[in-house]
A and B are shown apart, each in its own frame.
Chain A
Amino acid sequence: MAAEPAFPLVAVVSSYPLLAEAVEGALEGIAEVRAFPAGQGDTADFLRLLQPAAVVVDSAEEAEAAAEFAREARATLVHVSLREDRLRLLHAGRWQNLSDGSASPERIRSAVAAGIYLRGVRT
């Protein structure tokens, strides 16, 4: 049997590998971060297999695909628009724009950490 990860798993599905590096740095000691390339066309199914506690994506297409999984699994989903320097969060099944400030790793950490905590409380 595969060993359970020591920390909750966060999947970063992105065309920009440095996003995963930034998220990994921000979640050090909080979550285990794994990077996956975007645009593979099977994001929702892939996430169902992986069962991460949170997902970070960088495109609207991947956000839409990941939202299917996030709603089913009550996982946190953060969509980072790197070009527009904006963040939105799928919370309670609805997208919520996090409009104050830019898309910093610290804000991603806050969103993901809060989501992981709330998920733990609910389950």
Chain B
Amino acid sequence: MRRTSIVVADAGPIFRAGARHLLGRESDFEVFEATTLPQLSQTLEERAPDIALVDLDLPPQGGVAAVAGLAPLHETRMIVWGFDATPDAVLAAVTAGAKGFLPKEISPAGLIRSLRGVVRGEAPLSRSLATLMVDAVQGLEERDRARERAVTLSTREREVLALVARGARNREIAQALSISEFTVKRHMQNILHKLDLPSRRAAGLFYRSAFESSGVFEMERTA
């Protein structure tokens, strides 16, 4: 029987040892360990394992950056695991090339089942994480729609809107942009009209939903 080879890439010795002890009892797994990105990279080069279980906080730059750098170069299926399964973390991991995301609270049986599933081509993602991921994707879609609407604004109107979103009053906006308060009011009227928004407060919320984004959005923008 061909064994499934797994590299557990985690700076925490407890999780490496726990996974090694658990998977070592199963005859169908072979386990390697790495504590940093360079070690993981070396293991992928030398061993070409079937699966890499990569810690979200893997030194030096985190598991998402590690997966983004390594996934395009290797056939190893990368699974990220971590303490903080936020929607952004899950989505960032998957966007970077991970085939799934597992919480570190996972049960021994759950980890074994998930890893065997990966071998069969399944994407391990718990129900709660799947919900988080759907929320995150929907958040991105809402953001995209808001950004499409914002295209109608002029550069100056966007500058005004950015200051409104930060709670600035008309006088402060006028000072910041070296324009009159009257001009600020006119820009504000145009903004509300173009975006079909009822109030200044709604305009501020709109700006935040469109432009003040998560790490995922920042990653997409800089990619």
User: Interface residues, chain A, CB within 8 Å of chain B?
Assistant: 15-22, 24-26, 80, 82-83, 85, 102-105
Q: Which residues of B contact A102 (CB under 8 A)?
A: 12-13
Q: Does B215 contact A (CB under 8 A)?
A: no
Partner of A22, one of B11, B18, B83, B107: B18
Closest to A58 in B: B14
Closest to B15 in A: A18
In the complex, the answer to whether B21 meets A25 with C-beta atoms within 8 Å is: yes
In the complex, the answer to whether A104 meets B106 with C-beta atoms within 8 Å is: no
Closest to B12 in A: A85
In the complex, the answer to whether B105 meets A21 with C-beta atoms within 8 Å is: no
Q: Which residues of A contact B20 (CB under 8 A)?
A: 25
In the complex, the answer to whether A103 meets B13 with C-beta atoms within 8 Å is: yes
8 further A-B contacts with Cβ under 8 Å, apart from A15-B105, A21-B22, A102-B12, are: A16-B18, A16-B104, A18-B106, A21-B19, A80-B14, A82-B83, A83-B83, A105-B17
Q: From residue A85, how far is it (CB to closest CB) to chain B in Å? A: 6
Closest to A35 in B: B108
Q: Could you give 26 example pairs across A and B, Cβ below 8 Å? A: A15-B105, A16-B14, A16-B15, A16-B18, A16-B105, A17-B105, A17-B106, A18-B18, A18-B104, A21-B18, A21-B19, A21-B21, A21-B22, A21-B108, A22-B13, A22-B14, A22-B15, A22-B17, A24-B21, A25-B21, A25-B24, A80-B14, A82-B12, A82-B14, A82-B83, A105-B14
User: Interface residues, chain B, CB within 8 Å of chain A?
Assistant: 11-15, 17-22, 24, 83, 104-108, 111
Q: Which residues of B contact A21 (CB under 8 A)?
A: 17-19, 21-22, 108
In the complex, the answer to whether A18 meets B83 with C-beta atoms within 8 Å is: no
Q: Which residues of A contact B83 (CB under 8 A)?
A: 82-83
Query: In the docked arrangement, what's the CA distance between A1 and B178, Å?
Result: 88
Query: In the docked arrangement, what's the CA distance between A17 and B110, Å?
Result: 10
Q: Which residues of A contact B12 (CB under 8 A)?
A: 82, 85, 102-103
In the complex, the answer to whether B14 meets A25 with C-beta atoms within 8 Å is: no
In the complex, the answer to whether B13 meets A19 with C-beta atoms within 8 Å is: no
Query: In the docked arrangement, what's the CA distance between A117 and B170, Å?
Result: 74
Query: In the docked arrangement, what's the CA distance between A104 and B112, Å?
Result: 23
Most B CB contacts (10 A, CB to CB) among A21, A25, A82 go to: A21
In the complex, the answer to whether A104 meets B18 with C-beta atoms within 8 Å is: no
Q: From residue B110, how far is it (CB to closest CB) to chain A in Å? A: 9
Q: From residue B144, how far is it (CB to closest CB) to chain A in Å? A: 34
